């Protein structure tokens, strides 16, 4: 019961924080929530089973398309359309995750990474071949602020509320899975597949299950982006975005849900901060640096962070917590002497 109660408390705190943000910051918060759902699944997949996926953006796109088409087809009150869209996002992303998981049971290392990378590269072609709206993508339904809240909050704040709640629903089961028996089986497969098999654990089944468990929150993350932007386009889920999700998982700390939240905040806000800094320089210099300095500083900063904290932000926080009692104990020891 501790994990659901903690998730409920954090959700309430997140919703309360939206009152102190302007509309644009609330939109960014919704984007962070979407990335958090996907990165949380990715960090569990890589950190607990060692399966590297470079194509989680495709799982988000699958969830986004499933949400957009299903929710748009519902003629009824908005809660029903929202619920049907979320169920469709889970189903489509989960099915794709199952197919990838079945392949992951036979592939490993660079072969699995290459397979997921191929999906990202093939997404624009698939969008043009399948009835997905080609480059224009698909329109997602517009969820207006309910009448009871229209005088209290803005549209972006309402979407941030929905994003926070959906992200909590997506990530809480991952936390429970990570700390339960399923998490132990994943760690056993990561440590030694042969020993795990001798202990009665099927590595192939565990890997496939881990991919499904990772795909579902990614699909819900895609649904969140569809709600915030009212559209789903293949260009929004390209290779660069997919690699950013991996960066967020690595910077935050593989296997850490809290680290996934930190990494998601960084990949959303750092590029925006760099762009703001570039916009502050003189116009001539800004035009030359636009699109170049931002990428350079962002990449250099992430490399420096990874080198300084190899275990990610979560490992750094653990070290700070471990060092804090010893520092407090030092004056006591000196006084006793």
| pLDDT at site 328 | 45
pLDDT category of residue 53 using cuts at 50, 70 and 90: confident
Indicate if the pLDDT at residue 306 is higher than 80.
Answer: no
Q: Is the pTM higher than 0.75?
A: yes
Task: Report which DSSP code applies to 201.
Answer: -
User: Which residues have CB under 8 Å from 86's CB, separation 6+?
Assistant: 67, 166, 220, 223
- The answer to whether 249 and 39 are in contact (CB under 8 A) is yes
Q: What pLDDT, on the 0 to 100 scale, is given for residue 134?
A: 78
**pLDDT score recorded for residue 122:** 86
pLDDT at 336: 42
Q: Tell me which residue has tokens 């909590």.
A: 168
Q: What values do phi and psi take at 138, rounded to 5? A: -125, 145
Question: How far from each other are the two terminal CA atoms of the chain, in whole angstroms?
Answer: 45
What pLDDT is attached to residue 25?
Answer: 93
- Higher pLDDT, residue 278 or 291: 278
**Between 175 and 135, whose confidence is greater?**
175
Q: What is the pLDDT of residue 286?
A: 54
Q: Does the pLDDT value for residue 330 go beyond 70?
A: no
Amino acid 273: pLDDT: 77
When pLDDT is cut at 50, 70 and 90, the band that residue 334 belongs to is very low
CB neighbours of residue 152 within 10 Å: 11
- Average confidence (pLDDT) over 118-137: 83
Q: Mean of the pLDDT values across residues 318-325?
A: 66
| pLDDT value of position 287 | 59
Q: Which of 113-127, 133-147, 149-163, 264-278 has the lowest mean pLDDT?
A: 264-278
**Selected residue with higher pLDDT from 259 and 85:** 85
Give the pLDDT of residue 133. 79
Does pLDDT of 332 surpass 50? no
pLDDT at 132 over 70: yes
C-alpha span between 195 and 253 (Å, rounded): 26
H runs (alpha helix) in the chain: 2-17, 23-49, 56-73, 78-104, 110-129, 155-179, 181-191, 193-198, 203-229, 239-252, 257-280, 283-289, 293-308, 312-336
Task: Give the tokens for residue 78.
Answer: 């908005």
Whether 211 and 59 have beta carbons less than 8 Å apart is answered as: no
Q: pLDDT over 90 for what percent of the chain?
A: 39
Query: Model confidence over 197-242: pLDDT tens digits?
Result: 888 888 889 888 999 999 999 999 999 999 999 999 988 898 888 8
- Which residues have C-beta within 8 Å of that of residue 217, sequence separation ≥ 6? 37, 38, 40, 41, 170, 171, 174
Nearest Cα neighbor of 140 from 69, 204, 86, 205 is 69
Per-residue model confidence (pLDDT) at position 283: 60
Mean pLDDT across the chain: 84
Q: How confident is the model at residue 91 (pLDDT cuts 50, 70, 90)?
A: very high
If one compares 122 and 315, the residue with the highest pLDDT of the two is: 122
Q: How far is CA 192 from the centre of its chain?
A: 28
| pLDDT (0 to 100) of residue 18 | 94
Residue 28 has a pLDDT of 94
By mean pLDDT, which of 176-180, 316-320, 325-329 is the weakest?
325-329
Per-residue pLDDT reduced to its tens digit, 282-293: 666 555 555 556
Within 8 A by CB and 6+ apart from 152, the residues are none
Q: Tokens for 290?
A: 């636009």
Within a 10 A sphere around the Cβ of 205, how many other Cβ atoms? 13
Q: What sign does the dihedral 25-26-28-33 (CA atoms) show? A: positive
Q: What pLDDT shows up at residue 159?
A: 96
- pLDDT for res 29: 95
Q: State the pLDDT confidence band at 318, using cuts at 50, 70 and 90.
A: low
């Amino acid at each position: 019961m501790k994990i659901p109660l903690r998730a409920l408390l954090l959700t309430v705190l997140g919703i309360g924080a939206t009152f102190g943000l302007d509309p644009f910051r609330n939109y960014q918060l919704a984007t962070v929530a979407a990335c958090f759902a996907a990165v949380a699944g990715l960090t569990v997949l890589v950190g607990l089973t060692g399966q590297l996926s470079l194509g989680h953006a495709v799982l988000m796109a699958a969830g986004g398309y499933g949400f957009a088409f299903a929710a748009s087809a519902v003629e009824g009150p908005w809660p029903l359309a929202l619920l049907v869209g979320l169920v469709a996002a889970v189903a489509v992303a989960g099915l794709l995750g199952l197919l990838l998981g079945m392949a992951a049971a036979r592939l490993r290392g660079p072969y699995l990474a290459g397979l997921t990378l191929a999906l990202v590269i093939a997404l624009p072609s698939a969008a043009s071949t399948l009835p997905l709206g080609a480059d224009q993508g698909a329109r997602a339904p517009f969820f207006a602020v309910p009448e009871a809240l229209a005088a209290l909050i803005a549209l972006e704040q309402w979407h941030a509320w929905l994003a926070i709640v959906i992200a909590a629903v997506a990530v809480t089961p991952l936390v429970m899975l990570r700390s339960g028996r399923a998490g132990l089986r994943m760690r056993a497969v990561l440590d030694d597949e042969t020993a795990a098999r001798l202990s009665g654990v099927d590595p192939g089944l565990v890997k496939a299950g881990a991919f499904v468990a990772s795909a579902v929150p990614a699909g819900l993350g895609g649904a969140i982006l569809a709600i915030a932007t009212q559209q789903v386009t293949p260009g929004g889920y390209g290779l660069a975005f997919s690699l950013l999700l991996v960066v967020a998982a690595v910077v935050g700390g593989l296997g850490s849900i809290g680290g996934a939240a930190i990494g998601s905040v960084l990949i959303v806000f750092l590029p925006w901060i760099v762009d703001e800094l570039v916009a502050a320089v003189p116009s001539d210099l800004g035009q030359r640096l636009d699109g170049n300095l931002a990428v350079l500083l962002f990449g250099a900063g992430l490399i420096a962070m990874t080198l300084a904290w190899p275990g990610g932000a979560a490992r750094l926080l653990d070290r700070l917590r471990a060092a804090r009692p010893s520092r407090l104990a030092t004056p006591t020891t000196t006084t006793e002497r």
